[in-house]
Chain A
Amino acid sequence: MSVLIDVQGLGKTFTDTTMRLGPKRPPVRAVESVSFQIHQGEALAVVGESGCGKSTLGRLLLHLIEASEGRVMFENRDMSAMSRHEIRQLRQRMQMVFQDPFGSLSPRRTVADIIAEPMDSFGLTKSRKDRREKVAELLDLVGLPPSYMDRRPRQFSGGQRQRIGIARAISVDPAFIVADEPVSALDVSIQAQIINLMQDLQEKRGFSFLFIAHDLAVVRHVADRVAVMYLGRIVEMGTKAQIYSSPHHPYTEALMSAAPRPDPAARSNRIILEGDVPSPSNVPSGCPFRTRCPLAAEICSVERPPLIEVEPGHTAACHFATPYPIAQRSPAT
């Protein structure tokens, strides 16, 4: 599998640019030195609490906002070095599915217009008839009757709208889709349908995925690999099995214990985190998680823990994460 997206030291700092008198608000470090790769046909899930920079990360990857540091390589081409025209051409290869199915579809346009918009932008619709045929095909693909194409978004339920959003995203056959919490605004009963749909489509079309979520149960179904974010940084990343069976970062562990489990007997050992997430404009020194970490020691406030590899393909940023023994590491290197 070749690397589709290579993120290198990506960061985004929002600064106060308003022309007000008086002191400026401190800059907000939304994303800081994030690096990872996404392979072709792979689904990477990013999880974390609200405000940890997940959505910003997704938008950075699509170059919807400018990165303040680092770069994103898409098919080995640096996006920050591209001209606006090249970026626009690239939009055909990368699409987005949004969180809010009510806000992300323009209320005054018909479903056909909404779904065909990406194709229109890239001149992929030859005639009216061709356009309608393609829209009908896409509607069918996402499980909606093609006869709905002349209706407006308000006539649909949340789940149906999300299907429309997905049809729009896959209409230009992209190589990469960022799904920004695509199911968190939906009823639980519908979440499963949408997730299954997305997985089906991924199998059929073979695109890669960045799946942003705050719900570990959802991630478990979708992801090949999982990245856990806290205050703009990736604190742990690994395959789904690694993260779920042997989390190495205390934050990941706390997140896991917070995921609801259907079996009441298994609900015993919840890890309750104290306090709130610190403001991203005032990140604690050293390890950003130390203010809430049950394991925090002196070293945590002095030194920022680097991401270390604890087993092949599994990294964690914690001073107490134990790397796998050297004996195990040697055959790999």
Chain B
Amino acid sequence: MTIARLSPTSDGEIRRSFLSGFGKFTLSATAIALLSGNEKLAMIGSAAAQTANNDVAILNSALGAEQQAIAAYQLGAESGLLQKPVLALAVQFQGHHKQHADALAKAVQKLGGKPATPLKDYGFPKEKLKTQADVLNFAATLEKGAVSAYLGAVPILTDRELAKAAASILGDEAMHWAVLRQALGQPPVPEAFVS
């Protein structure tokens, strides 16, 4: 168990850093300030709590996207349309998304939030998935969207360790997208920048 480090600076500013991002327990700045009886610190801590709430919302958005990806790969794996080498790849990618989801859910909980839960039905276009290429195209679309979602999360996560972890996931999603494009016979990396 690791507790967040509060480092008062000479001008009274509070610097709060997570020691290890995902996977470790963190006590909120507000809680620490209130426990110490320092009202000024508690007021600053309220602002920190608000930023933690923002981080929870961002992480829960990402968690929702991961849960959707897990469901999509499940649909693909059970479709009977994926041939053996591609099926193994899809199962591997689904495993990555499960790991992302686990890490994100733990991070949300440790920030005091409630992790998003998977939907019962995502309304996937099952009737349009008739070939292996259809499934791969569908998965590639979601992976590309996931890259964009993380690109929209990294710069606004307050905690730098969480931002680093999100960037790490972004890299993984981008690799999935590239491999799926390669499997579809498309240029795997179409541009120098993602958006």
Partners in one complex: no
| Chain B residues close to A by CB (< 8 Å) | none
| Chain A residues close to B by CB (< 8 Å) | none
